[in-house]
Amino acid sequence: MYLRFIWAVLLVLLVCGAAPVSAATTSLTITKLASDDTTVLNETTVTWTWMRDNLPVYGDGITVYYNQGPVFEGAWDDVHPDEPYDPWNPTEDVNIEYKDHGEFRGTNVLDLCALAGGTSGGDMVTIRATDGMSKTWPAEYVIDPDPGQGPMVIGWDHGKDLGTVEEGFTQGMRLYFLAQTTNAAGQHVWGNWDMHEAWSEDYWYYYNGEYPSASGNSVYYVSDIVIHSQIDPSSGDGGGDGDGGSQGGFMGSSLNQDLHGSVNGSIYVIRTEGPACRIGSGESCTFYLDLTGLNRTDDGYFYLFGTNNTDARGEEETGIGLLLGTQPVTPSAYYADAGDTSAAPVSETWRYDLDGTISGTNLSVIVTNRGSPGSAVTMYGGVLVAPSGGGENRTAWWIAEGADTVQADPDQGVFEDDATTTATFAQITGMDATALGGFVAVTTGASGNDTRSNRVTLNSGEWINLLTAGPDEISIGRVDVTPYLHTGKNTVSISSIPYSEQGDYLENRLVILTVTETPLPQTTPSMPTTMAAESFEPTEAATAAPTGEAPSITPIKSGPAEKGGGIWDGFFRLIGLENGISDLPLIGPLLGGGDEEENNGSAISAPVDSHPAAEATIMPPSGTAPANATITVITHPEGAQVFLDGEYSGRITPLHLEEVPTGHHTLALHLADYESYETSFELEEDTTVAVTLDPLNPNLDEDAFSLNLAAMQGPDRRSGGIFVEATDEGAEIYIDGKKIDGTTPQVVNGLKEGLHRVKIKMGSTTYSPSTLEVWVTAGAITPVFFNRFERGASRTITIDDPGYSGEYISVNGVYTGKKVPAKVTINGINAFAGIFLEETYLSVPISDFAEDGSTTTLEDGIETVQSIRIGSDPPGARIFVDGFDTGIATPGVIERISPGYHRIMLSKPGFYPEDTVFLLPERTDEREITLILEPYAHGSLYVNSTPQGARIYLYGLNTGEVTPHLFCGMALGAYDVKVVGRSDSQTTEDVLVRPNEVTVCECRLEE
C-alpha cells in the first residue's frame, strides 16, 4: 500500500512536470462558426464575474462533485479483492477520493453557447484551454445530457478549500460534469461507467490509451468555447433589420432572471398607449401610461422597448433619453440583441428602477433619440411592472428580462429548436397545494397567426399563439399556470414555429412568474396583467387547453376476461399502484390479479394472450335524465363503423355521438375482418361504450389491455401521421430537420397535429422539389409523395382575394393550414385552390401566368354545386376533400362540391392512405369514386411516466401528446421515446413495436 501511494505521487509529479505552466483563466470567448468551420457567425467574450452575476449558477456551494480517474489493477484489488478486474467500475467506488472537486460552482456550457446564438442537434462543441488542450463533443451532450453525465459546467469557484479563479482555484476555469446520479455512498460521481453509457465510443477517453478515465475530459484553464454549426456561411447568423424578419433566421438566447420580490397584493403589468414611432436623432415621441385604479406601490420597474437602431450602441451610453412625466430617469439595466453581430442592435430593452411612490394618474412617457446625427430608432413604448400593495394575499414574483430576437427559417438552417428564447427560474418557492401560479410573457413584433406562429412553454405546459398583438405592437401573453408551476427549478421557452417559409418574428423581452398564497384553493390567481387595474382573467388564448394538459379519463365498465394478468399486476405495482391491477377497477376485472415479481424494465412488450368477450356495460344513471346526452364509443381495434338505431352515423371509432336524445337505443359496430357487435340500452346520461371486437381469424387475438388504455384516453387526439413515398425506395426521410429511422416507403405516426416540412435524400438522385409541406391531422395518416419524373417550374406566390379573405386554403388538394391572404408554393401548371366556404367544397383555378413572387387573385369559379359518392374497400375510412376533413367516413356522399379539379383522400386506422385527383365536370349525374386500401403491419406503443402529464417526443419531435398515451397504428420497428416532465426528462432507446402487440414504455421522472 505504501509503495503504491509513492508511485501515485511520482506519477502526479511527472505529469505536472511535463505540463506547461498556466494560470487560471478569468474570461472566455464563445464563437459560433458556419458549416465551413471558418466563417464567424457570432462571437462574444464574458468574464467569470459576469457569468456569475448574469447567468444561472450551477452547483449550490454545498454538494461535492467527483470526476473518476483511471482504475488501476492495484486500486481495484483494494476495493474489490475477490472480484474480476473491471476498469469501467460500474459501482463508481475506485479512485474517487483523490478526485474530489469541492463544492464547486459554475456556468452551464449550454447557457454560454446561447450568448453566441445557441447550438442545436447536429452541431459539434469544442472546449479549448490556454495551454492548447481541447475536447470536442456532439452538441447533444451539451443540450440534453444523460443524467449520469449531468450538465457540462465551466467552474469558476472550487468551494471552501480553494475559492474562486481569482483566489486559490489555479486550475480554473475548468470543465466539470455535474452528475445527477450518485453511487452507493451518495457521492455525485462522473464515472467511467457513466462515460461508457452516456457517450458514443468515439468520445471515450483512455489514460495512456489503456485505462478509461472520465476525469480526462475535464479541461483545465478553459478560455474558449467553439460551436461548429451546420449553417451555410452565406446565410450568416440570420441577422435582420427588425422589421418583422424580412431577412429571416434569428437564433435564440436566454433572458436573465434578475429581479425577485413579494408583496401583500398583486403584480400589475401595464402597457403604454400610443402607436410605435420611428424617431431620428434629436427627435422625440410620446406614449402614455394609464395608471387609473393602481393601488399604492413603493417601487416599480419601467421597461422601454426599441428596435432597428441604426446607431452603434455603446457600453454605457444608450443614446436614448426618457422622461416619465416631467422627471428624467436613467436606465438601471440595458440589453441588446445584435442579430448579425453588427454594432447596430436588432432589439433593445432598457430597464428603469422607480424607487419612489408611483402616483395613480395618467403618466406621459417621452422618448428622445440622442444618438449620432443621421441615426434612427423605432420605439414600441414599454410596460410598467408594479408590485401593488393593499391586498390580503401574499404574492411572490420573479422577473426574467432581456432582448432576444428569434425567427425560425428552415431555408436558412434555423429551426424551432434554434429560434427559441429560454428563461430559467432556479428557485421558485411557495408553490404548494393552495398556491396559485401566474405567468406573463412580454414580446414585441409577434403576429401569432396561422401563417406565422409562436409557441410558449412552461415545464410541461404548452400554448400556441399566446402572443398575437401584431408586428408593430407589444404583445402581453397571460395564463394561469397553477398546474405547471412548481417549487424549485422552472423553465420557460418562447419559440418561433416554422409552419410556413418562416416562423413568427419575436423580440422577446420579459417573462414574469408569480406565486400567490391563498387560504383556500381558488380558480384564478390574484395577478392582474391587464392595462387597467382589474383582477386577472386569462385571455381567450390563455384559456384554450394547453397541449401539456393531461387527457381526462372516463370511467367505464367492460366485459369479463380470462385470468392472465400476472405481468400487468407487476407492471402496475412498478408504476406506483400498491395493490397492482386490483387498484384499477377498469383494468383489474379484464386482466386479473397476479403475484408475480415486479418487472423492472423500462420498456416491455406485451404479447396478446387473452381476449375478453365483446361486451360493454353502460354506466348506471344518476339523477333526472336530460333531454340529450353524449355516447362515446371506443373499440379495439379502431376504425369500426358506428350504427345508431339501424342508421349508419357516417363515422368511425373512436368518436363522440353528441346531442343524442335520451331513451332506448341500439348501437351496432362493424369492422372488416371482425365479428359485428350490437347492444341495446337506455340512454339516461353521458355514456361510454368500450368494446374489443372478435377477429374472424381464429389465429388472431386482440389485447384487452389496448381497449382499456384507449378507453381511459378517450377519442381526442393531438397527433397523427404521414405515409412518405417516393419514386425510389430507400430514400432517407427528414421531418422538420430531424432524420427519421427508416426509408421510403414509410409510415411515420405520432407527429403533432399541424404543418410539417418533409424532405427526402437519395444519394446523387435529385428530386425537385426535395421538400414538401404537409398538414398532419390528428388521428389520420396523410400521404406524401415525391415524384422524380414530374418536373415543372416552381413558383411562390401570394393569393390575396377579397372574396375569400380569412378562409383556409389548399393548393392542388393539399391543405396548407393558411388563410387568405396566403403565401404558397406551386409546382407545375393547372393548379387549383381548394376552399371550404358555406358548407361547399370549392375548386378555384390559379392562373398559370402568376409569376414567382407576385400577388394574385383567384380566377372565377363555377357557381353550380353537385354531389359525389365516396366509397372504399374496406369501408370505414375518413374522407378528406381537398385536404379538408369532411367529418364523415365511407361510404358517404359529399352533398355540395363544385365542378373542377378536386383531390379525395381516404385514411383508415391500420391501412395505407389513398388519394386521387379527378376532374368533376359540370352538369353531371352523381359520380362515385371508390378507392382500395391496403393494410400495413403495425402495433401499439403505450407511453407513461411517473408523475404523469409529461410531454412525449418521438423522432426527436414533440408529438403534442402527454403521458399516459396510447399510440395506435405504429409502424413496426424500434423507437427512441423521450418524455419531458416539469423538472426532468428521460429518453428510452430502441423501444420495439411488434405486430398486434402493445409495447409499454414506462419512465420515472424526478418531481
Q: What is the pLDDT of residues 143-163, one digit of tens each?
A: 888 888 999 999 998 888 788
**b (16+ CB within 10 A) / e for 785-822:** ebeeeeeeeebebebebeebeebbbbbbbbbbbbebbb
Domains 256-517 and 938-1004 share a fold: no
User: Can you tell me the distance from the alpha carbon of 560 to that of 617, in angstroms, rounded to the nearest whole number?
Assistant: 10
Element (H or E) spanning 991, and its range?
strand 985-993
Are the C-beta atoms of 127 and 222 separated by less than 8 Å?
Answer: yes
How far is 175 from 25, CA to CA, in rounded Å? 12
| Structure confidence at residue 702 (pLDDT) | 63
Distances (CA, A) of 740 to 99, 184, 749, 758, 965: 41, 39, 11, 10, 21
Q: Which CATH number fits domain 27-228: 2.60.290, 3.90.420, 3.40.50, 2.60.120?
A: 3.90.420
Report residue 108 CA to chain centroid gap: 21
Q: CA–CA separation, 807 vs 835, rounded Å?
A: 7
Which regions of 120-215 does DSSP assign to beta strands (E)?
124-129, 134-138, 152-157, 174-177, 188-190, 206-207, 211-212
**Domain range 628-713, its CATH number among 2.60.40.10, 3.90.1750.10, 3.20.20.210, 2.60.40.1120:** 2.60.40.1120
Q: How many CB atoms lie within 10 A of CB 3?
A: 8
Residue type, 872: S
Name the residue with cell 403495425. 938
Nearest one of 213, 203, 180 to 98, comparing CA atoms: 213
The helix (run of H) or strand (run of E) holding residue 386 is: strand 376-406
Query: Is the CB of residue 604 less than 8 Å from the CB of residue 997?
Result: no
Sign of the Cα pseudo-torsion (549, 555, 559, 560, in order): positive
CA atoms of 13 and 5, how far apart (whole Å)? 13
Which residue, chain included where needed, has cell 420497428? 973
The dotted CATH code for 256-517 is 2.60.120.1200
Q: In what order do the strands lie in the sheet with 927-932?
A: 814-819, 808-811, 832-837, 840-845, 892-897, 866-873, 927-932
Beta bridge partner(s), residue 254:
422
**What are the grid coordinates assigned to 47, written together?**
468574464
With cell 401573453, the residue in question is: 477
Strand residue runs (E) in 898-949? 900-907, 914-920, 927-932, 938-946
Query: Which phi and psi (to 5°) does residue 526 adopt?
Result: -95, 70
Contacts of 327 (CB under 8 A, 6+ apart): none
Amino acid at 747: V
Mean pLDDT (the chain) is 80
Please identify every stretch of the chain with a pLDDT value under 70, giving residue numbers as ranges: 1-22, 97-101, 234-249, 295-298, 312-318, 339-344, 356-360, 450-451, 499-501, 520-625, 701-705, 791-793, 861-862, 982-983, 1007
- What local confidence, expressed as pLDDT, does residue 893 receive? 95
Full-model pTM: 0.53
| Burial of 116 from C-beta contacts in 10 A (0-12 / 13-18 / 19+) | buried
Residue with cell string 452547483? 59
CA dihedral over 439, 441, 442, 446, signed as positive or negative: negative
SS3 4: helix
362: which residues sit within 8 A by CB, 6+ positions away? Answer: 288, 289, 290, 291, 292
Residues in a beta bridge with 751: 720
**Maximum CA extent, the chain:** 103
Helices (H), 2-152: 2-18, 48-54, 73-79, 109-114, 140-143
Strand, helix or coil at 109?
helix
Rounded-to-integer distance, Cα 792 and Cα 848, Å: 12
Q: What angle do CA 985, 991, 992 make, to 5 degrees?
A: 170
Element spanning 464, H or E: strand 461-464
| Rounded Cα distance, 642 and 665, in Å | 13
Q: How many residues does the chain have?
A: 1007
Amino acid at 720: G
Ranges of beta strands (E only) in 537-640 are 557-558, 603-606, 616-617, 628-636
Residue pLDDT, tens place only, 598-652: 333 333 323 323 333 344 434 444 456 689 999 999 998 899 999 999 999 999 9
C-alpha distances in angstroms, 82 versus 71, 77, 393?
16, 7, 63
Q: Give the C-alpha separation, 308 to 291, whole Å.
A: 29
User: Residue 887, Cβ neighbours under 10 Å: how many?
Assistant: 11
Distance (Å, whole) CA 608 – CA 704: 8
CB 922 within 8 A of CB 956: no
Beta strands in 575-716 (DSSP E): 603-606, 616-617, 628-636, 641-644, 647-652, 655-661, 663-670, 677-683, 687-692
Q: What is the pLDDT of residue 861?
A: 63
Write the CATH number of the domain with boundaries 938-1004. 2.60.40.1120
Domain boundaries, the chain: 27-228, 256-517, 628-713, 719-932, 938-1004
Q: What is the dihedral of CA 154, 156, 159, 161, to 10 degrees?
A: 120
From the CB of residue 531, how many other CB atoms can be counted at a distance below 10 Å?
17
**Residue 256 backbone dihedrals phi, psi, to 5 degrees:** -100, 125
Say which amino acid occupies 871. Answer: G
What distance lies between CA 345 and its chain's CA centroid? Answer: 28
Question: Which contiguous run of DSSP H or E holds residue 786?
Answer: strand 781-786
Neighbours of 988 (CB within 10 A): 17
For residue 882, the 8-state DSSP code is: T
794: which 3 cell numbers? 416552381
